[in-house]
Chains A and B, each alone.
Chain A
Amino acid sequence: MTPLEKPQKSLRIQIPVSSTLAEKIISEHAGREVKPGEIVVTGVDVTALQDGTGPLAIQQLEELGMVQAHNPKKTILFIDHAAPSPRKELSNAHISLRDFAIRTGAVLSDINEGVCHQRLVESYASPGDILIGADSHTCTSGALAAFSTGMGSTDVGIGIATGKTWLKVPETMKIEISGSFSKGVYAKDLILHLIGEIGADGATYMALEFTGPGAKSMTMSQRFTLSNMAVEAGAKTGLFASDQATRAWLEEHGRGEDFRELRADLDAEYSRTIQIDEGTLEPTVSAPHTVDNTMTAASAAGTRVDQVFIGTCTNGRIEDLRIAADILRGHQRNPHTRLIITPASRKVYIQAAAEGLLADFAEAGGLVTGPGCGACVGVHGGILGDGEVCMATQNRNFQGRLGNAEAFIWLGSPATAAATAIAGEIVDPREYLE
Chain B
Amino acid sequence: MILRGKAWKFGDSISTDHIAPGRYFHLRTNLPELAKHVLEDANPDFASQMAPGDIVVAGRNFGLGSSREHAPRIIKLAGVNAVLAQSFARIFFRNSINVGLPVLEIDTSGIEQGDELEIDLGAGTVRNVTRDETLIFAPLPPVMVKILDDGGLVDHFKKHGVFNLDQ
Contact = CB atoms under 8 A, between A and B. Distances in A.
A400 B22 contact: yes
B67 A150 contact: yes
Nearest to A164: B163
Contact of A52 (B28, B90, B158, B162): B28
Given A56-B70, A90-B25, A200 B64 contact: yes
B29 A55 contact: yes
A354 interface: no
Contacts of A81: 25
Contacts of B87: 201, 204
Interface stretch (A318-326, A358-366, A401-409, A423-431): A401-409
B80 interface: no
Interface string A144-157: 00000011111100
A126 to B, nearest CB: 22
B165 A92 contact: no
A211 interface: no
Contacts of B26: 87, 89-90, 379
A152 B25 contact: no
Nearest to A133: B67
A390 to B, nearest CB: 13
Contacts of B94: 151-152, 155
Contacts of A383: 23
Given A136-B65, A136-B66, A41 B165 contact: yes
State the main secondary structure of chain A at its contact with B.
Answer: loop
B153 A154 contact: yes
Contact of B61 (A52, A153, A234, A400): A234
Contact of A152 (B21, B65, B95, B141): B95
A379 B21 CA distance: 10
B91 A151 contact: yes
Interface in A69-123: 81-82, 87, 89-90, 92-93
Interface size range on B against A: 35 or more
B89 A204 contact: yes
Given A154-B154, A205-B90, A234-B64, A401 B22 contact: yes
A1 interface: no
B63 to A, nearest CB: 11
Nearest to B96: A152
B68 interface: yes
Contact of B29 (A89, A201, A400): A89
Given A164-B163, A201-B60, A405-B41, A151 B89 contact: no
A256 to B, nearest CB: 31
A310 B31 CA distance: 32
B17 A152 contact: no
Nearest to B17: A398
A35 to B, nearest CB: 15
A155 B67 CA distance: 11
A45 interface: no
A378 B154 contact: no
A155 B152 CA distance: 11
Contacts of B65: 136, 396, 398
B70 to A, nearest CB: 7
A326 to B, nearest CB: 32
A39 interface: yes
A63 B152 CA distance: 13
A184 B42 CA distance: 37
Contacts of A377: 22, 25
Interface in B1-55: 13, 15-18, 21-23, 25-30, 40-41
26 contacts: A39-B167, A52-B68, A53-B69, A56-B70, A60-B154, A81-B25, A89-B29, A89-B30, A138-B67, A151-B95, A152-B69, A154-B69, A158-B153, A168-B143, A201-B61, A201-B64, A201-B87, A204-B90, A234-B61, A290-B13, A378-B23, A378-B25, A379-B22, A398-B65, A399-B17, A399-B18
Interface of B: 13, 15-18, 21-23, 25-30, 40-41, 60-61, 64-70, 73, 87, 89-91, 94-95, 98-99, 141, 143, 152-154, 157-158, 162-163, 165, 167
